[in-house]
Amino acid sequence: MPPPVVVLVCGPAGSGKTTHARALERAGWVRLSFDDEAWARGHRDHPVDPAAVARVHAGLQADLLRLVAAGRQVVVDTSFWSRASRDAYRAVLAPTGATVVVHLLDTPRDVVLARLAARRGTGGDDVVVPQELAVAYLDGFETPTDDEGPLVVVPGTGDDD
């Protein structure tokens, strides 16, 4: 049996990551969501405190390792805004032999900003991100490159995600 595949869904807030991850979930993948877990722990504002971020990621990584050990295909739904964040998950998964593939949501800036402006704070995937913070997220985003490993670019048009 081939090793499991883990998809790291990558993109700034508002790019359509959760919509993409849920499509994979409907196809049988297990979805692990940073935003859902942070929301469940009571975090309602961005940015989330760094110590809380570390705790949420530690929990997600423990769940991820358990699922991969059980042979499940997993999609991790978080921004993976930096190469370091992607590399951290790759390092956790390295001993498992799982194949790690990054799915980059390539969504136009104006679409991302419009989506974020429409948020109302109703759940983990609807956390309000003030415009100045949204711009900072976009400007600080480290786009993955092919030298990191398998990369799939997913167009985010605003029409279907």
In terms of DSSP bridges, do strands 30-33 and 74-77 run parallel, antiparallel, or are they unpaired?
Answer: parallel
Please name the helix (run of DSSP H) or strand (run of DSSP E) that holds residue 85, with its range, or none. helix 83-93
pLDDT in tens, 1-17: 778 999 999 999 899 99
Give, in order, the Cα–Cα distances in Å from 42 to each of 7, 33, 98, 128: 26, 14, 32, 14
- 101 versus 126: the higher-pLDDT residue is 101
What are the residues facing 7 on neighbouring strands?
Answer: 75, 101
Report domain extents, the chain: 5-155
CATH of segment(s) 5-155? 3.40.50.300
pLDDT in tens, 42-101: 888 777 889 999 999 999 999 999 999 999 999 999 999 999 999 999 999 999 999 999
Confidence of residue 161 (pLDDT cuts 50, 70, 90): very low
- 124 versus 66: the higher-pLDDT residue is 66
Q: Does residue 160 carry a pLDDT above 70? A: no
Written as six digits, the tokens of 49 are: 């405190």
pLDDT in tens, 6-55: 999 999 989 999 999 999 999 999 999 998 998 899 888 777 889 999 99
- When pLDDT is averaged across residues 144-149 and rounded to a whole number, the result is 94
- When pLDDT is averaged across residues 132-156 and rounded to a whole number, the result is 92
* pLDDT at residue 52, as a whole number: 92
In the chain, where do the E strands start and end?
Answer: 5-10, 30-33, 74-77, 99-106, 151-155
Contact 128, 48 (CB under 8 A): no
pTM confidence score? 0.91
